[in-house]
Chains A and B, each alone.
Chain A
Amino acid sequence: MNRLFNLMRRASAPAPQVGQTPADVVHRENKWRLLRYRPRAEGIAHATPVLMVPSLINRHYVLDLMPGKSFAEWMVEQGFDTYIIDWGTPTDEDRYLSFDEICDRYLARALRVSTRFAKTEQAHVLGYCLGGTLAAIHAAVRPERIATLTALAAPIRFEDDGLLSAWTRARGFDVEAVVGGFGNVPWQLMQGAFHLLRPTMTLSKAVSVIDRAWDDAFLDGFFAIETWGNDNVSFPGECYKKYIVELWQEDALIKDALTLSGKPVRLKNIDCPVFAITFEHDNIVPHESARVLLDRVRSRDKTHLHLAGGHVGAVVSKKAKTTLWPQLAEYWAARDGDRSAKKSGKAAKPGKAAKAAKLAEPGKPAKAARTGKKRGLAPPKHAKVRSDS
């Protein structure tokens, strides 16, 4: 009974506050923005900034869910200079926005702006889900500004025995017609497809909520994830065509048949440290489809971390704070750029520090090679900053 009373009380409570970590808009272009989370008061402890690239389909604040359950907030607490791309909401004219514009031009700009702010040559790039695919494609063509590439549940091989693979290859599914009719592919269509991946999930969630209705902390997290899960964005039409035809139907990325702005995309061109993270119960990106990145890149420094959990839960749950997040932080700290090189105007050399650190066994976080000192927080001269807290 208490559970039901608690649930009824929650029904009239205001919606959970999501994406609360204070951030400044450091760049704005078309609908997307680059946010820089405000560094902690003690200053930044790591020379190389971290750029987070979320999926195009969902909102960026999954990585900044709510106070106490926010990866971004936690990263700031660890002393990282943290940036995230907010892809924004495409409007009707963005039906002509191409995959190449997003993956090449926009991502390159986000890297340039974040490294300029951080006064480094390179940034650690974390791509989540489709964001990881975009980051890997970008890294294969424009590796210059990428210190390390972290692919978090990012599909690389699209032909698998999953439902999404079967649906996109179904005879009768005409992508041209869908984009021609809709313009931007509506989020309702994509959300419907994701619900169909496990149609009984809604009932399962209802049972879980009733079962743990006494637990306010659980309910806070649950409603925050639900808020995020129901706040989707439509997919730019032209971009969707390439995404479905070349990535899903032709599996062109793994076959080295993809091009980005006319340049061939070869995963073997990636030689920076690569970290692939996969989840055992991920029903959106089967773990083998994501892990295969490590087989294709040329990097010597390759790390695979396989964790229990699903596509979203394993990244934002309370458990992630003690499993996934510390391993990410230690991975980046161990490969932090050389501060003295940066001060003298040379490129930071990620990877050097990594040699000094023992690392890479999944489940056994390594010791960070160095943490660095505090440094100034002033943005570059011509930078435009807007508050977005």
Chain B
Amino acid sequence: MNPWELYKKYFNVWESATAQYMEHWLKSPLILEPAGAMLSASMKFKAEADKKAASFWGNIGLPTKQDQERALHKLNQLESKLLDLEEKLAEYEAK
């Protein structure tokens, strides 16, 4: 057997065993719970920091990033409703 084929054979065995071993650990609550808690805690911290920054801009009478996002989202919803109306009008015209 040439060396490359031999390498591939052993690599496949190693890969399969390693993947199984890692899957076992990646399912384990010992890993998942602290990882989930760390992610959630860092996100809560970020959300809190964003809130503080937003209240600063709000206090000086400026719209925050979230205010602008909400307004843009409402515009998108409005566009969808206009499209609904256009479709209904087209249906009536067709009748």
Contacts and interface: CB of A to CB of B under 8 A. Distances in A.
B76 A203 contact: no
The A interface, classified by DSSP as helix, strand, loop or mixed, is helix
B76 A174 contact: no
Interface residue range, chain B: 35 or more
Interface residue range, chain A: 35 or more
B85 to A, nearest CB: 13
A199 B8 contact: no
A30 interface: yes
22 contacts: A29-B83, A92-B65, A92-B69, A93-B70, A96-B69, A97-B73, A97-B76, A101-B77, A105-B80, A163-B23, A163-B27, A171-B32, A173-B36, A174-B40, A174-B43, A177-B47, A178-B40, A180-B43, A181-B43, A181-B45, A199-B26, A200-B22
Q: Which 5 A-B pairs have the closest CB atoms?
A: A181-B43, A172-B36, A173-B36, A172-B37, A93-B72
A17 B85 CA distance: 39
Given A177-B40, A181-B47, 6 more contacts: A163-B23, A170-B35, A171-B36, A173-B40, A200-B18, A203-B11
A152 B72 CA distance: 34
Interface of B: 4, 8, 11, 15, 18-19, 22-23, 26-27, 29, 32-37, 39-47, 50, 65, 68-73, 76-77, 79-80, 83, 87, 90
A170 B33 contact: yes
Contacts of A171: 29, 32-33, 36
Interface of A: 29-30, 92-97, 101, 105, 109, 112, 163, 166-167, 170-174, 177-178, 180-183, 196, 198-200, 203-204, 207, 211, 382
The B interface, classified by DSSP as helix, strand, loop or mixed, is helix
Contacts of B71: 93
A172 B34 contact: yes
Given A92-B69, A173-B36, A112 B87 contact: yes
A211 B8 contact: yes
Q: Which of A97, A182, A200, A207 has the most CB of B within 10 A?
A: A200
Given A112-B87, A163-B27, A177-B40, A96 B35 contact: no
A30 B43 contact: no
Contacts of B50: 181
B43 A178 contact: yes
Contacts of B47: 177, 180-181
A76 B11 CA distance: 41
Contacts of A182: 43, 46
A183 B65 CA distance: 11
B43 A167 contact: no
A180 B51 CA distance: 10
B33 A198 contact: no
Contact of A29 (B34, B40, B70, B79): B79
A295 B42 CA distance: 42
B70 A96 contact: yes
Contacts of B70: 93, 96
A170 B8 contact: no
